[in-house]
Amino acid sequence: MCEANVYVEKDGHVDLLLESVYLIESEGDRWHLENIFGEQKVLRGTFKVLALSEDKIVLQEVEAD
> Which CB atom, from 52 or from 64, has the smaller least distance to a copy of itself?
52
> Which CB atom, from 8 or from 57, has the smaller least distance to a copy of itself?
57
**1, 27, 36 from 14: Cα distances, Å:** 26, 23, 22
Q: Do residues 23 and 40 touch, judged by C-beta distance below 8 A?
A: no
Sign of CA dihedral 44, 46, 64, 15: positive
Question: Which residues bind to a copy of itself, rule: CB under 8 A?
Answer: 1-4, 21-26, 46-53, 55, 57
> Which CB atom, from 16 or from 26, has the smaller least distance to a copy of itself?
26
Minimum distance between the CB of residue 42 and a copy of itself, rounded to whole angstroms? 15
